[in-house]
Amino acid sequence: MRDSLEEQARRYATQAHAAAGQRRKYTDEPYIVHPAAVAELVRSVSNDEQMIAAAWLHDTVEDTPSTLQDIESHFGSRVAQLVDMLTDSAQPDAKNRAARKLAHFRHTAQASPEAQTIKLADIIDNTRAIVQFDPHFARIYLVEKQIQIQLLNEGDKQLWTQAEQIIQHGIGQLAQPPHSVPESWFVKQAAKYGGLS
């Protein structure tokens, strides 16, 4: 008996990220803990096996030598399309981080509701402990995610609400001592994105 599509995706992603030597930035855990968490969040709102497979695979094309053609040949065109919608394409003309991120936000804003749901799960997992691990980077990251989720309004409402609450909680933490980042700082950062939301 063949393994389920999800099990095949889990195995493929585990091998691809391990072969690329990828670890989680702050915890040094094997990278696969992140796609696993994203897949669980997607499973909490959907039993669509192709969506869950794409959740496991969402970073493979961006972060490993895997290509969209590889994904399509192993998992079919719908999974490959979802992964493509979630992949941050190279922006050689982008002058700075804000320009790069804007291009990515526009890309995910055009994604299908299913891909937006996976992206929301990705944001939730990446945002959960960002203030604890890297409060300095969290200041910019949380502003970016606050802007990005405004463009992901076709994704699952439950995950959207969870993402918004985690982002707001993080910004609230940064406003408190020992960080004490003034609210005006966040407003100024958001303005760099040209009021995209």
Domain locations in the chain as residue ranges: 1-87, 91-197
The pLDDT profile of the chain, 197 residues, written as one tens digit per residue, is 778 999 999 999 999 999 999 999 889 999 999 999 999 999 999 999 999 999 999 999 999 999 999 999 999 999 999 999 999 876 666 678 888 888 888 888 899 999 999 999 999 999 999 999 999 999 999 999 999 999 999 999 999 999 999 999 999 999 999 999 998 888 888 887 765 54
Q: Which residues are catalytic?
A: 62-63
**CATH assignment of 1-87?**
1.10.3210.10
pTM (predicted TM-score): 0.93
**C-alpha closest to that of 149 among 186, 109, 194:** 109
Amino acid at 177: P
Which DSSP string do the residues of 13-60 spell out, in sequence order?
Answer: HHHHHHHTT-B-TTT--BTTHHHHHHHHHHHTT---HHHHHHHHHTTH
Burial class (CB in 10 A: 0-12, 13-18, 19+), 93: exposed
Render pLDDT for 81-128 as a digit per residue (tens, 0 to 9). Answer: 999 999 987 666 667 888 888 888 888 889 999 999 999 999 999 999
